[in-house]
Amino acid sequence: MGAEVRTNVIKRNGKEAVFDIAKIVNAITKANDSVDKLHRMSEYQIRAVADNIARQVGEATHAVNVEDIQDMVETGIMQMRGYEVAQRYVRYRYKREITRKSNTTDNGILSLLEHINEEVKQENSNKNPIINSTQRDYMAGEVSKDLSRRVLLPTEVVQAHEEGIIHFHDTDYYAQKEHNCDLINLEDMLQNGTVISETMIERPHSFFTACNVTTQIVAQVASNQYGGQSFTLSHLAPFVEVSRNKIRNSVIAERKECGDALDETIINKVVERRLREEIRSGIQTIQYQLITLMTCNGQAPFVTVFMYLDEVPKGRVRNDLALIIEEVLIQRMQGVKNEKGVWITPAFPKLIYVLDEDNITQDSKYWHLTELAARCTAKRLVPDYISAKIMKQLKKGSVYPCMGCRSFLTVEDSQKNPDGSYKFYGRFNQGVVTINLVDAACSSEGDMERFWEILEERLELCHRALRCRHERLKGTVSDVAPILWQNGALARLKKGETIDKLLYNGYSTISLGYAGLQEMCVRMTGKSHTDPEAKSFALAVMQRLNDKCEEWKAAENISYSVYGTPMESTTYKFARCLQKRFGIIPGVTDKNYITNSYHVHVTEQISAFEKLRFESEFQRLSPGGAISYVEVPNMQQNIPAVLSVIKFIYDNIMYAELNTKSDYCECCSYHGEIKIVEDEFGKLVWECPNCGNRDQNKMSVARRTCGYIGTQFWNQGRTQEIRDRALHL
CA distances from 232 to 220, 274, 400, 401, 587 (A): 17, 24, 9, 8, 42
Q: Considering 117, 185, 429, 693, which one is annotated as catalytic?
A: 429
pLDDT of residue 3: 46
CB 684 within 8 A of CB 677: yes
pLDDT of residue 345: 86
pLDDT of residue 110: 60
Per-residue pLDDT tens digits for 443-470? 999 999 999 999 999 999 999 999 999 9
Q: How far apart are alpha carbons 114 and 122 in whole angstroms?
A: 15
Per-residue pLDDT tens digits for 688-729? 999 999 999 899 998 887 667 777 788 788 888 889 999 999
Q: What is the mean pLDDT of residues 539-550?
A: 98
Q: How far apart are alpha carbons 579 and 519 in whole angstroms?
A: 13
CB 538 within 8 A of CB 529: yes
CB 635 within 8 A of CB 660: yes
The pLDDT confidence band at residue 370, using thresholds 50, 70 and 90, is very high
In this prediction, what percent of the chain has a pLDDT beyond 70?
Answer: 91
Q: Considering 82, 298, 431, 707, which one is annotated as catalytic?
A: 707
**Average pLDDT across the chain, whole number:** 91
pLDDT of residue 1: 42
The pLDDT confidence band at residue 6, using thresholds 50, 70 and 90, is low
What are the helix and strand counts (H, E) for the chain? 24, 25
Decide if pLDDT at 114 tops 70.
no
User: Does 403 participate in catalysis according to the annotation?
Assistant: yes
Per-residue pLDDT tens digits for 614-653? 999 999 999 999 999 999 998 999 999 999 999 999 999 9
Amino acid at position 531, single letter: D
Alpha helices (runs of H) in 339-428, residue ranges in sequence order: 367-380, 388-394
Q: How far apart are alpha carbons 182 and 409 in whole angstroms?
A: 9
Considering only 93-107, 248-262, 495-509, 518-532, which range has the smallest mean pLDDT?
A: 93-107
Q: What is the mean pLDDT of residues 226-234?
A: 96
Q: Considering 72, 80, 181, 665, which one is annotated as catalytic?
A: 181
The three-state secondary structure class of 56 is: helix
CA distances from 443 to 449, 582, 719 (A): 12, 8, 27
Q: Considering 391, 403, 524, 665, which one is annotated as catalytic?
A: 403
pLDDT of residue 526: 98
User: Does 376 participate in catalysis according to the annotation?
Assistant: no
In this prediction, what percent of the chain has a pLDDT beyond 90?
Answer: 73
Decide if pLDDT at 124 tops 60.
no
The DSSP-derived string for 406-439 is TB-PPP-TT-B-TTSSBP-TT-EEEEEEEEEHHH
Q: Considering 407, 443, 592, 700, which one is annotated as catalytic?
A: 407
Q: How far apart are alpha carbons 659 and 688 in whole angstroms?
A: 19
pLDDT of residue 125: 47
User: Does 180 participate in catalysis according to the annotation?
Assistant: yes
Q: Considering 226, 422, 563, 650, which one is annotated as catalytic?
A: 563
Q: What is the mean pLDDT of residues 222-239?
A: 95
Q: Say which residue, 592 or 211, is predicted with more confidence.
A: 211
Q: What is the mean pLDDT of residues 315-327?
A: 98
Considering only 125-134, 160-169, 450-459, 513-522, which range has the smallest mean pLDDT?
A: 125-134
Decide if pLDDT at 204 tops 60.
yes
Q: Say which residue, 112 or 449, is predicted with more confidence.
A: 449
pLDDT of residue 100: 58
User: Does 32 participate in catalysis according to the annotation?
Assistant: no
pTM for the predicted model, two decimal places: 0.85
Decide if pLDDT at 123 tops 90.
no
Q: Considering 32, 124, 125, 180, which one is annotated as catalytic?
A: 180
pLDDT of residue 298: 55
Q: Say which residue, 381 or 6, is predicted with more confidence.
A: 381
CB 366 within 8 A of CB 372: no
User: Does 397 participate in catalysis according to the annotation?
Assistant: no
CA 485 from chain centre, in angstroms, equals: 24
Q: Considering 405, 442, 688, 699, which one is annotated as catalytic?
A: 405
The winner for highest mean pLDDT among 35-44, 167-176, 322-331 is 322-331
Count of CB atoms situated within 10 Å of the CB of 536: 11
User: Does 664 participate in catalysis according to the annotation?
Assistant: no
Per-residue pLDDT tens digits for 548-561? 999 999 999 999 99
- The beta-strand segments (E) located in 505-604 are 508-515, 559-564
Q: How far apart are alpha carbons 720 and 591 in whole angstroms?
A: 8
Q: Considering 142, 327, 519, 568, which one is annotated as catalytic?
A: 568
Q: Is 545 exposed, middle or buried (0-12, 13-18, 19+ CB in 10 A)?
A: buried
Amino acid at position 234, single letter: S
pLDDT of residue 115: 53
User: Does 92 participate in catalysis according to the annotation?
Assistant: no
